Amino acid sequence: MDESIKKIALLGMGTVGGGVYEILAKQKPNMPAKIGSTLQVAKVLVRNKAKYADKVPADQLTDQWSDIIDDDSISIVVEVMGGIEPARTYIREALSKGKHVVTANKDLMATHGHELLEIAREHQCDLLFEAAVAGGIPIIRPMKQCLLGNDITEVMGIINGTTNFILTKMAEDGMEFDDALKLATDLGYAEADPTADIEGYDAGRKLAIMASIAFHSSVTFDDVYTEGISKITAKDIRYAHELGYEIKLLGLAKLTPEGIEVKVHPTMIPLQHPLAAVKDSFNAVFVHGDAVDDAMFYGRGAGALPTGSAVVGDIMDIARNMQYHCTGRIGCSCYQSLPVKKMSETRSSYYIRMKLEDRAGTLAALAGLFGSNNVSISMLLQKAKEGNTAEVVIVTYDVMEKQFMDSITVIKTMSMVKEISSIIRVHHA
């Protein structure tokens, strides 16, 4: 085998696969100097070969996995198809045959990452997944390597490009939700089923992966509380601005003495907070470590070339590891088993927009009920009036989720409360 050529196979040639293919072609002349060998795309697996005939030479295109798994000259498999199956089976088989794997698949890594990393370890293979979290932003490798000298206690950020794009377009251009989603899909940011973006599942998967690495304890997607942006209205965005906040879909992971907190939900953050300035498909992740203090990572979280950048970085890293016979060096980093806290045990401030009967004593009764549930009000504003109904906005102080939700259950039964229009958590730090 010619050591100066390393053959790779791409599984998928969609948004990300196309970006990877383009970057590999552009970087080809620099490869001997950068990594001591040249990467050659030997096979590209797709379902519908005709769709890709203009883009990929016929001798590379295949719709048969056996063309890849049975070819011993292919040493790196790059999975950019998405979904659990057949991706999981293909990756298991590739690793079991000693092929190194790069994947952008957060769905898979957030649920079966532990199992796949274990197979990689058994076969001394690399399994790298930098693109699976925050697209082009380097975050997995910095947490696994550069920040290893820290005890990380908090990871927080905007980790879904599609929803950040939609919220930006709604807030700045007055665009309707559906139009903004269509644009994000056309730009290649959204998942094959954009429900994963909108409902916070994609961000939840990324948060599970980051929390596992940060806290050295396995966290899976099922552990993460998720709430999406589908209920966010233009009115809430307008009121948030009036109150000095921006609404963002945040992922928050925290290590507390009682266990790990992992939650994804729309969050009001102060307009002067650095995350408030993160717009469009950009992502940003804050990491707090005991030695480094606060570190922030910022860049494009989705799209062909930004995501391709992370994938190609991983492929080139593997090629270099192969050159120096040190593959399998960095595997699963979970060496402990910590409990994950229930959402009801976590704390937050809350913004509530509601419609109340407009008569004397209503606000006092409401404040009294919140007070009797240990919920303190930091701000109360009366907004629009419609006949006998007044719209009221309340922001609470920090309170345990269970106490807040218990008080809402009671408030809903009060005859003077006509509607609870929205509830959004508020993050002040």
Instruction: Pick out the residues of the known binding site for L-homoserine.
Output: 191
Residues 289-308 that bind ligand NDP (CB under 6 A): 302-303, 307
Interatomic CA distance for residues 242 and 210, integer angstroms: 33
250 close to 156: Cβ distance less than 8 angstroms: yes
Q: How many residues of this chain bind ligand LTNE7NMQ (CB under 6 A)?
A: 11
Q: Which does 130 bind (CB under 5 to 8 A by kind): ligand LTNE7NMQ, ligand NDP, Na ion, none?
A: Na ion
Q: Are the C-beta atoms of residues 408 and 425 closer than 8 Å to each other?
A: no
Tokens 């040639």 appear where? Answer: 13
Q: 197 or 401: whose CB is closer to ligand LTNE7NMQ?
A: 197
Q: Which does 105 bind (CB under 5 to 8 A by kind): Na ion, ligand NDP, ligand LTNE7NMQ, none?
A: ligand NDP
3-state secondary structure of 310: helix
86 prior amide bond cis, ω within 30: yes
Q: Kindly identify the residues of this chain, within the stretch 130-149, that bind ligand NDP according to CB under 6 A.
A: 131, 135
Active-site residue (options: 99, 206, 341, 355): 206
CA distance 209 to 251: 12
Residue 311 φ then ψ, to 5°: -65, -45
Cα(199)–Cα(228) distance, rounded to whole angstroms? 4
Annotated binding site for NADP(+): 11-18
Distance CA 411, CA 429 (A): 28
Nearest to 210 by CA among 258, 267, 263, 247: 263
In sign, the C-alpha dihedral spanning 318, 320, 323, 327 is: negative
Site for ligand LTNE7NMQ in 120-139 (CB under 6 A): 135
Count of residues in contact with ligand NDP, rule CB under 6 A = 27
Per partner kind, with CB cut-offs from 5 to 8 A, the member of ligand NDP, ligand LTNE7NMQ, Na ion, none near residue 86 is ligand NDP
Binding residues for NADPH: 106
Measured from the CB atom, is 12 or 161 closer to Na ion?
161
Segment interacting with ligand NDP (CB under 6 A) among 15-23, 170-178, 229-237, 250-258: 15-23
- The answer to whether residue 412 is catalytic is no
Phi-psi region of 89 (alpha: psi -120 to 50; beta: other; left: phi over 0): alpha
Residue 154: which of Na ion, ligand NDP, ligand LTNE7NMQ, none does it interact with, CB under 5 to 8 A by kind? none
**Which residues from 102-131 bind Na ion, rule CB under 5 A?**
130
81 binds, among Na ion, ligand LTNE7NMQ, ligand NDP, none (CB under 5 to 8 A by kind): ligand NDP
Asked whether 79 and 103 are in contact (CB, 8 A), the reply is yes
Pairing of β 100-103 and β 74-79: parallel
- Helices 362-372 + 401-412 axis angle, to 10: 140
**CA distance linking residue 294 with residue 111, whole number of Å:** 28
Q: Select the residue interacting with ligand NDP from 6, 7, 8, 16 (CB under 6 A).
A: 16
- Asked if 201 touches ligand NDP (CB under 6 A), the answer is no
- Which residues are tagged catalytic? 206
Which residues of the chain form contacts with ligand LTNE7NMQ (CB under 6 A)?
Answer: 135, 160-162, 189-191, 197, 202, 301-302
Chain residues binding ligand NDP by CB under 6 A are 12-17, 45-48, 51, 80-82, 86, 104-106, 131, 135, 188-189, 191-192, 302-303, 307
